[in-house]
Amino acid sequence: MICMKNKKCGDENLVDEMIAPRKGNTKHLFGSVKVGERGQVVIPKDARELFDIKPGDILLVLGDVERGIALVKADKIQEFARRILDSTGSPEE
């Protein structure tokens, strides 16, 4: 597995710029949520506003046994993947 933490695309760090930008206060506690009978949770309004999550957005559910669950907007991952592919040359290079 390749670690993308230090993967560069031009002069920018892709992970820091696209997936986990760190400008200002990056730590938040939005409260707690209760899991419904069908496994659903409601994302708190403050979190939806901060991360620009709108009805119909697609979220990826990522998990790490030691660190927990994370939600990431699919369009962020798609753009991240596109920039990685664009930064690699063609197979002939």
Give the pLDDT confidence of 6-65 residue by residue, as tens digits: 444 454 555 555 555 566 777 888 889 999 999 999 999 999 999 999 999 999 898 999
The two structure tokens encoding residue 10: 């031009």
**Contact (Cβ atoms closer than 8 angstroms) between residue 44 and residue 54:** no
**pTM (global) more than 0.85:** no
- pLDDT value for 6: 47
Of the candidates 21, 23, 26, 15, which has an alpha carbon nearest to the alpha carbon of residue 80? 15
Tens digits of residue pLDDT in 61-88: 989 999 899 898 888 888 877 888 888 7
- Of the candidates 41, 22, 23, 21, the one whose C-alpha atom is nearest the C-alpha of residue 32 is 41
The torsion region of residue 25 among left (phi > 0), alpha (psi -120 to 50) and beta comes to beta
Cα angle, residue 53 at apex, residues 71 and 14 outer, rounded to 5°: 60
